[in-house]
Structure 1
Amino acid sequence: MSDIISLLPDHVANQIAAGEVVQRPSSVVKELLENSVDSGATEIHLIIQDAGKTLIQVVDNGKGMSYADARMAFERHATSKIKLADDLFDLHTMGFRGEALASIAAVAQVELKTRPHDEDLGTELRIEGSKVIHQKVCQCGGGTSLAVSNLFFNIPARRQFLKSDNVENRHIIDAFEHVALANPEIAFKFTQNNVEIFHLPEGNYRQRITSVFGKKFNERLVPVEEITDVVALSGFVLKPQYARKTRGEQFFFVNDRFIKNSYLHHAVNHAFEHLIKGDEHPSYFLYLRIDPKRIDVNIHPTKTEIKFDDEKAIYAIIRSAVKHALGQFNIAPTLDFNQNVGDIPIPDPTRAVIPPTIQVDPNFNPFNTETPKTPAQSSGASSSFKSSSFGKTPTDNWQELYKGSESTESGNIQISSGWEDDTIEKNATHFQLDNRYVITKVKSALIAIHQQRAHRRINYERFLQVLNGHHAPSQQLLFPISIHMNGGEMEALKSVNDTLHRMGFELEFPSAQQVLVQGIPMHISDGETQIVLDQLVEDVKSDADVFRNDPSHAMAKSLSSHIGIKNGQVLNREEMQHLIDELFACEMPYTDIFGRPIIVQIGLDELDKKFR
């Protein structure tokens, strides 16, 4: 029997290893940025072209590498971080396995330029598909510049599975934010397609968070701090009123390393119990400092998952610290007695004090059936009730209460639902119940209409009709609305900008983090604009595939979810009638955009049973 087991060639083994480490362009960004952090750099510049498919370059001012180290860095299992197996449990750096550069060089074209600050000349090294093309002495700046070009050029099957540029860009921005938020003492710059996306100066954690997510976050942050023998916890949670329907800014960092941990995430959610709705998610930036001997970061190739030796204790500490921080945060306004609020006027002692007067109608008779004129009315003074129905006696025009209760042949709205006597009369009396339901009647029943769901259905079909037809009219704003967004939000918004333009939005992007709204659709007010766009961005980020595969449906659904009539909004008679008219003009008036009922019928038979 012949031998069938053999060693894999190095280039094949490297490509297999790259499948674990280099999953997409953002994986390369993460590894290169972490290497720059480990090099002691104080300034790091990330350069991206075509969502990382053409170029990923990281330039830093770290300590650089010698001629021999530059070549050795691309060998598998070559590392300066560990010498013994015991060193795995005393790690103070990001990378340590010695796999990243070898894996990247196996699936891309890599060019390295590096020079230690105490040397006059540096090293230039070029590798393609694990094969060294050349290595030579060169002139370059102190530190390291590593450019990764044409990712997966030698594995076309892997390249074709990459997502669209917008999706890959969002993953790259996420990887950049993870490293930048963990290292506020380092200045970062991020350039994408020759446009500067981020320029983050060095600072503290609060300054870094506001630099990444905007100045609006500064007033939303609640500081969290707890120091114990198990873990030192610091960071911020966002105030409960800023909780989101989707998981937004949720960051755990352990020893300056971004991690994902559903168990610790549950601890934060538990601390927000009864402060936010069940379908909302809190945002947080929590930094844990723990003895490296008490954690294992070597359980996952990307090192985003770690194991704690006492996870239950850390859970209890996080929950307690966040609860304590939220308890200290007082939602009621406080008075600052040191603040000058103005001088209290001193009364003039020479001025006569005029006592208040009370007017009494001597002709008032509670048993008189006629409505007497008040002094204000007799003198021609204005009264808010003068022309109102509230000025009438309870028995005046009592017949009007029952107007419209009889069927008329004209002006009726037919409900094709299979109900008997299914006609809503045009002049029927409608009223609101708890400012949530519009109650009206058909010939043999009452119907209750959920006003928020009804208006969502109306807006959804209206937006869908616009998107499936021609360009919608836009109302131009006299004063454009300026909105600040971070890099990931900008990418999400730009990915649906064409669809927004058809809806009637006129957007401009004067800078990498600013959106200028010049025009909005006719059915959206300028006061709703920022809320609508913020929520739209969250929907795009959470359901990117839906927006890519069916943009019209996704856009109409998102916009109709965040505008229009809400529960608790008072409607007058004309508004209720208009809502009913528009609802039953819809193709599907009985269920909302999430499949929930809009209309409930209460028949006479059901009412009769209640009186038995």
Structure 2
Amino acid sequence: MANIINLLPDNIANQIAAGEVIQRPASAVKELLENAVDAGATEIQLIIRDAGKELVQVIDNGKGMSEADARMCFERHATSKIQTIEDLFQIRTMGFRGEALASIAAVSQVELKTRMRGTDIGTYIEIDNSAVRKQEPCQTAEGTSIAMKNLFFNVPARRNFLKSNAAEMRHIVDEFIRVAMAFPQIQFTLLNNTQQLFYLEKGSLKQRVIAILGQHYNSKLVSVKESTDYMDVHGFVGKPDAAKKTRGDQFFFVNNRFIKSPYLNHAIMTAYADIIPADSFPLYVLFIDLDPGHVDINVHPTKQEIKFDDEKVMYAFVQSAVKHSLAQFNVMPTLNFELDPDIQHLDAVSQPFTAERQEQSATTSLYKTFTQANQAHVIDKSSSNLKHWKDLYDIGKSSSDSSSSYREERETTLTQPLPAVGFESRSSTASVIDERWQDNTIDQKVPVQVHQQFILSQIKSGFILIDQQAAHERILYERYLRALQETPMPAQQSLFPQTLQLPPADAALVMEMLPDLQVLGYDLEPFGSNTFVVRGTPADIQSGNEQASIEGLLEQFKHYSAELKVNKREQLVRSMARNNAIPSGRSLTTKEMQNIIDELFACAMPNAAPGGKYTYISFKLTDLAKMFGG
């Protein structure tokens, strides 16, 4: 019987390994940037073309490589970081497995130029599909330049799974930010199709955070710094007003390595539990430094998921450090002992307490009650207010006796469960609409706003209670959906166009959505690096609120991107509807309420908002009568 088990050829084994390490251009960006950091570079440049599909190039001024090392670095599991098994548990460098360059060379065409410090001649190597095509001496600057070209050229099926250029560019920017945030002492530059997206000077951690996240965070950062023999925590958390609806501005680093840890994230969320809304997420950029022996980073190919030897200690320490910083900077809520302005205007507070007033006060029975020993409980029987207290008791007793039989009757009724009154099913929506049309007096029945959140409207069989925000969200959702599918919405032109400056990640997101945004009524034009000119917005957005509208739209879009598995257009339409809907707490005129009611029941699906929340609940007169025992 023939043997059927064979060793895989090296090029196939490398491609399989590349499937774990290099999933998209951003994966290669991460590995190449980390190699440059490990090389001791003080200046690192990232060059991208065609969202990394055509070119990903990293140039650094690190220590460079010898000719032998330049050739050896592309072999599988070739590394300078580990010599013995013990070294695996004392890792302080970013890379250590020796997989990255071998995987990159297996799925792309690579050009490497490198020269060691103190040498005159460098080395040039060309690799194609794991095979070395050329190796020769060359003139180059000190450090290393490595270019990865035509990603997945030899694996077309993998290339077909890549997303749009804007989407892939967002992932690249994310990886760039994570590395640049961890090393503020290094200068980083990012060029995309010859356009400079980032130029990050060397500086302090706070300067790096503000340069990446935006200047508006300058006054919203709270410093965190706690040290023990076991671990250190330092960095910044955001004040409560910096919290957002998405997790975008949250960074954890362990020994300068970016990680994802739901466990530690929960520790921070509990520290903020009482000072931000339940559906908001705080900003944080936190660095944890501890002995590498207490952490295992070798549990995932991307090294973003790690294990701690004592997670409970980590949780408690991080939570305590954040709480302490918030309290230290007076961010935690405090009791307000200031008097109400209305109380301050009373004569008893504002007028001086003269000797005459003191004498008058001292003669009152109330004053004597609290100043004479053992008299705080004494009631003055001669008080005119208490002379007839017994008569009041007798009247109350007789009333109680006369109503006892009524109480006995009602006891059995009140102890029974109330009849269920709730939202009617989707099939009954038509009947609600029919009743509104059949009721000839509908125009005379003015809707009522309840607690600036709900709209109460009468129908023939009872009434309906409408959630104003959910209802308006449904109306806008269907309006925007029609605009994408049928007729584009006209833009309301601004008298004075505004300039919108966005963080690079958000700017890449706007570029991705730009064609659909223009169909939905946003007149936007790119205007230089991460800047857009807003010339017009949809008609239902208040003039002067253009920037807040677009920023809110981006937050909602990122929220839906994280939570929902729907296409980009659906995410955009839902985000716009949610962002532009009338919020709870806003007072509405009668005309506005009536418009919401009319437009809601003209929708194709009026009973639920896009996210599934009910837009209205109907109450029948028969059910109401049962509730009152009728």
Tell me the alpha carbon deviations over residues 81-106 of structure 1, each in whole angstroms, 9 at most, x when there is no partner: 22221111222211111221112112
Q: Distance in 1 between matches of 2:441 and 2:203?
A: 65
Cα 1:548–1:113 change in 2 (3 A) is: farther
Comparing 471-480 with 227-236, greater Cα deviation is found at 471-480
Q: Distance in 2 between matches of 1:97 and 1:611?
A: 74
Other-structure match for 1:480 = 497
Q: Distance in 1 between matches of 2:140 and 2:565?
A: 43
Cα drift, residue 603 of structure 1: 2.6
Equivalences for 1:522-561 in 2 at 5 Å?
Answer: 522-543=539-560, 550=567, 552-561=569-578
Retained in 1: the 8 A contact 2:436–2:460? no
Cα 1:222–1:41 change in 2 (3 A) is: same
Q: Distance in 1 between matches of 2:569 and 2:103?
A: 41
Q: Distance in 2 between matches of 1:225 and 1:53?
A: 41
- Kindly provide the amino acid, as one letter, of the partner of residue 529 in structure 2: A
Q: Distance in 1 between matches of 2:72 and 2:568?
A: 49
Which of 514, 518, 521 is the matching residue for 2:535?
A: 518
Cα drift, residue 277 of structure 1: 2.9
Cα drift, residue 20 of structure 1: 1.9
Q: Distance in 1 between matches of 2:569 and 2:289?
A: 46
SS across alignment from 2:326: helix
Tell me the alpha carbon deviations over residues 450-487 of structure 1, each in whole angstroms, 9 at most, x when there is no partner: 22122222222222222222232222222222222222
Q: Distance in 1 between matches of 2:462 and 2:311?
A: 59
SS across alignment from 2:58: strand
Cα 1:423–1:449 change in 2 (3 A) is: farther
Q: Distance in 2 between matches of 1:22 and 1:551?
A: 24
For the pair 1:277 / 2:277, whether they are aligned, the reply is yes
For the pair 1:91 / 2:91, whether they are aligned, the reply is yes
Q: Distance in 1 between matches of 2:247 and 2:331?
A: 23
Equivalences for 1:159-558 in 2 at 5 Å?
Answer: 159-330=159-330, 415-416=432-433, 425-543=442-560, 550=567, 552-558=569-575
Cα drift, residue 449 of structure 1: 1.9
SS across alignment from 1:435: coil
SS across alignment from 2:433: coil
Retained in 2: the 8 A contact 1:414–1:423? no
Other-structure match for 1:361 = none
Q: Distance in 2 between matches of 1:179 and 1:458?
A: 43
Other-structure match for 1:65 = 65
Other-structure match for 1:132 = 132
Cα drift, residue 249 of structure 1: 1.5
SS across alignment from 2:444: coil
* Percentage of identical aligned residues: 48
Other-structure match for 2:400 = none
Q: Distance in 2 between matches of 1:131 and 1:244?
A: 48
Other-structure match for 1:112 = 112
Retained in 2: the 8 A contact 1:166–1:495? yes
Q: Distance in 1 between matches of 2:17 and 2:487?
A: 51
Cα 1:141–1:521 change in 2 (3 A) is: same
Unpaired segments ≥5 residues, structure 2: 335-429
Q: Distance in 2 between matches of 1:545 and 1:221?
A: 25
Retained in 1: the 8 A contact 2:29–2:175? yes
SS across alignment from 2:577: helix
Q: Distance in 2 between matches of 1:526 and 1:333?
A: 35
- Kindly provide the amino acid, as one letter, of the partner of residue 6 in structure 2: S
Cα drift, residue 298 of structure 1: 1.6
Q: Distance in 2 between matches of 1:95 and 1:271?
A: 33
SS across alignment from 2:527: strand
Cα drift, residue 278 of structure 1: 2.8
Cα drift, residue 421 of structure 1: 6.1
Cα drift, residue 181 of structure 1: 0.6
Retained in 2: the 8 A contact 1:421–1:444? no
Q: Distance in 2 between matches of 1:59 and 1:551?
A: 34
Q: Distance in 2 between matches of 1:502 and 1:209?
A: 35
Cα drift, residue 149 of structure 1: 0.6
Tell me the alpha carbon deviations over residues 549-592 of structure 1, each in whole angstroms, 9 at most, x when there is no partner: 75554333211101132111112223223333333333333322
SS across alignment from 2:443: coil
Q: RMSD value over aligned CA atoms?
A: 2.5
Comparing 63-72 with 237-246, greater Cα deviation is found at 237-246
Tell me the alpha carbon deviations over residues 478-502 of structure 1, each in whole angstroms, 9 at most, x when there is no partner: 2222222222211111111111111
Q: How many residues align?
A: 534
Cα drift, residue 51 of structure 1: 1.5
Q: Distance in 1 between matches of 2:485 and 2:598?
A: 23
SS across alignment from 2:68: helix
Comparing 6-15 with 422-431, greater Cα deviation is found at 422-431
SS across alignment from 2:541: coil
- Kindly provide the amino acid, as one letter, of the partner of residue 428 in structure 1: K
Unpaired segments ≥5 residues, structure 1: 335-412
SS across alignment from 1:496: helix
Q: Distance in 1 between matches of 2:90 and 2:431?
A: 75
Comparing 546-555 with 240-249, greater Cα deviation is found at 546-555
Cα drift, residue 420 of structure 1: 10
Retained in 2: the 8 A contact 1:271–1:323? yes
Which of 552, 561, 586 is the matching residue for 1:569?
A: 586
- Kindly provide the amino acid, as one letter, of the partner of residue 189 in structure 1: T
Retained in 1: the 8 A contact 2:492–2:538? yes
Tell me the alpha carbon deviations over residues 350-373 of structure 1, each in whole angstroms, 9 at most, x when there is no partner: xxxxxxxxxxxxxxxxxxxxxxxx
Retained in 2: the 8 A contact 1:75–1:102? yes
TM-score normalised by L of structure 1: 0.82
Comparing 25-34 with 324-333, greater Cα deviation is found at 324-333
Q: Distance in 2 between matches of 1:568 and 1:438?
A: 12
SS across alignment from 1:56: strand
